[in-house]
Amino acid sequence: MNDLKERYQNIAQQLQQAAERFQRPIPQLLAVSKKHPAEAIETLYQLGQTAFGESYAQEAIEKQQQLAHLPIEWHFIGPIQSNKTSEIANHFSWVHSIDRLKIARRLNDQRPDELEPLNICVQVNIDTEASKAGVAIADLVPLCEAIAALPKIRIRGLMCLPSRLGSESNEHDQRLPFATLAKLLEQLKQTDSLDAELRQQLDTLSMGMTNDYQAAIAEGATIVRIGTALFGARTA
């Protein structure tokens, strides 16, 4: 528990220092709590952390029930199967991993009227690897145009999960995919076929994890998603 406090304070300091070094805004920290217990989330919450990211719907909802007394902002960041959209639409404020219209439509249809529209990031396949999640760069604009028509979904920006680079990777290499994502967001903001109000709300670059958040901040990340550096290694 004291370790958690130390790591949290250390990360907060690292984010601030990186922002200064690269003359960028300090990004929001999304604490990625998948595979870690509700107790650890509560400890971080008491230290001031309010946004938590989860990758598995069932696991997340169990922890949400245990922590129902805390006004936590929950973000879903994992792959989404069609049969999980109802749970996600009902229990999260943000989803970072939208890469198909079908999933966005289901979330829209299942989002309860009494909740705010669901904030989403479109996940981009920045490495153009066939095996990876994320929309192909060529399909990004049409996907956003279609999602823009969904009233209970609010597009906030873009997310990426670059392939892990080898052990000799350096900050320069790490920055390349993040620079591409930042450029895509800029282009999206200039896309005339998207309505002006929607373009104005595009303020989010969800990029950077434990191993590469410095590089992501260098390229203008507004949300970094950090698990291991905060909670320690995940078992199982």
Ligand X SMILES: *Cc1c(COP(=O)(O)O)cnc(C)c1O
Q: Is 55 in the site for ligand X (CB under 6 A)?
A: yes
Report, in Å, the least distance between residue 179 CB and ligand X. 19
By CB under 6 A, tell whether 228 contacts ligand X.
yes
Does the footprint of ligand X cover residue 98 (CB under 6 A)?
Answer: no
Q: How far is the CB of 127 from ligand X (least distance, A)?
A: 14
Residue 86 beta carbon to ligand X: minimum distance, rounded to whole angstroms: 21
What is the separation of C-alpha 67 from the centre of its chain, rounded to a whole number of angstroms? Answer: 21
Contact 108, 151 (CB under 8 A): yes
Least distance to ligand X, CB of residue 112, Å: 25
Among 77, 144, 215, 218, binds ligand X (CB under 6 A): 77
Note whether 161 binds ligand X by CB under 6 A. Answer: yes
Q: Which stretch binds ligand X (CB under 6 A): 67-75, 134-142, 182-190, 220-228?
A: 220-228
Closest approach, Cβ 191 to ligand X, in A, equals 25
To the nearest whole angstrom, how small is the minimum distance from the Cβ of residue 114 to ligand X? 28
Residues 182 to 211 in contact with ligand X, rule: CB under 6 A: 209-211
By C-beta, is 45 or 56 nearer to ligand X? 56
* Bridge partner list, 95: 76, 120
CA distances from 115 to 42, 59, 84, 153, 219 (A): 24, 22, 18, 11, 33
Q: Supply angle C-alpha 95, 154, 54, rounded to 5.
A: 10
Long-range CB pairs of 17-23, under 8 A, 24+ apart, other chains included: 18/213, 18/214, 18/217, 18/218, 19/217, 22/217, 22/218
Nearer to ligand X, 32 or 143 (CB): 32
**DSSP codes, 63-90:** HHHHTTTS--EEEE-S---GGGHHHHHH
Name the residue among 221, 203, 233, 235 with its Cα closest to residue 29: 221
Residues in contact with ligand X by the rule CB under 6 A: 32, 34, 55, 77-78, 161, 209-211, 225-229
